[in-house]
Structure 1
Amino acid sequence: MVLTGHCLCKAVTYRVDMDAPLITGYDHCDDCQRQSGSTYSLVAVVEKDKLTLNGPVKQWEGKGSSGNSVWRLFCSECGSPIAHDPDAAPQIIALKAGTLDTEIKKTLKPDTEIWCASKLPFCQEKLAKPFEHMPE
């Protein structure tokens, strides 16, 4: 099986040649809150070399806690966030899991929370593997 998804307007599509994400979880960092317009971003971390991305993607460069760049990928047509790509971990990319095809995202089992230091106090759900910042 492969993981597939697309942006809101379907101009950007992707395929990941993996059966399941390496990690599925909530990213509570302030940047993800702002990019998602919500309390956290549901992410599906995959191997970058297994990802094929098609369509008009723009990138915005921010800085992560490591001081390295974090590239925010989004559709240049509808603005949907697609992924964030941290230079500090070049082998992985974190897909915005809401962009996965519907039947695939229904099967996700988030168990990890990162950047709990930025978790908003009214978010009461607690997953099995919480990390104050990034996992090592």
Structure 2
Amino acid sequence: MPLTGHCLCNAVKYTIDMDAPLLTGYDHCDDCQRQSGSTYSLVCVVLKDKLSITGPVKKYKGLGSSGNAVYRWFCEECGSPIAHDPDAAPEIIAIKGGSLDTEIKKTLNPEHEIWTVGKLPFCKENLAHPHEHMP
């Protein structure tokens, strides 16, 4: 069963031809904190060539710690974050877990924490697989 999701206003919709993400976890990097407006971003790493997306997606280009570009995708209508797409790992894309359809979100099992070097000190929960940076 494919993974599906959309933005807040339903203008952007996507389908991922995979049964489950390759990795699900909390991303503690400063950019994800700022984009989500929270302490971390729930991300689901999937194969980019399995993603089909429609709607008014805008991309913001930033720089990752690798020095390569990271494109943050969001709906240009409502501003909902959809994904971040790192040039350093061109085969994958990190879908924002909150944008998945509700019944799919309920099945997620975050086991990884990435960019724990940016984890805020009051975040006490620790997941099974912490990574200082992206694994």
TM-score normalized with structure 2 length: 0.99
Match of 1:35 in 2: 35
1:58, CA displacement in angstroms?
A: 0.3
Match of 2:75 in 1: 75
Match of 1:115 in 2: 115
Whole-Å separation in 1 of the counterparts to 2:87 and 2:35:
18
Whole-Å separation in 2 of the counterparts to 1:132 and 1:89:
17
1:25, CA displacement in angstroms?
A: 0.2
* Letter in structure 2 aligned against 1:70: V
Q: Tell me, what secondary structure is at the counterpart of 1:34?
A: helix
Whole-Å separation in 1 of the counterparts to 2:123 and 2:30:
14
* Letter in structure 1 aligned against 2:28: H
Whole-Å separation in 2 of the counterparts to 1:75 and 1:14:
12
Q: Tell me, what secondary structure is at the counterpart of 1:31?
A: helix
1:31-61: CA deviations, max 9, x gaps?
0000000000000000000000100000000
Q: Tell me, what secondary structure is at the counterpart of 1:49?
A: helix
Query: Size of the alignment, in residue pairs?
Result: 135
* Letter in structure 2 aligned against 1:126: N
* Letter in structure 2 aligned against 1:17: D
Runs of at least 5 residues in structure 2 that lack an aligned partner in the other structure = none
* Letter in structure 2 aligned against 1:117: V
1:93-132 to 2 correspondence within 5 Å? Answer: 93-132=93-132
Whole-Å separation in 1 of the counterparts to 2:15 and 2:94:
13
Aligned Cα RMSD in Å? 0.3
What is the aligned-residue identity percentage? Answer: 76
Q: Tell me, what secondary structure is at the counterpart of 1:15?
A: strand
Match of 1:56 in 2: 56
Match of 1:15 in 2: 15
Whole-Å separation in 2 of the counterparts to 1:118 and 1:8:
27
1:63-100: CA deviations, max 9, x gaps?
00000000000000000000000000000000000000
Match of 2:134 in 1: 134
Match of 1:2 in 2: 2
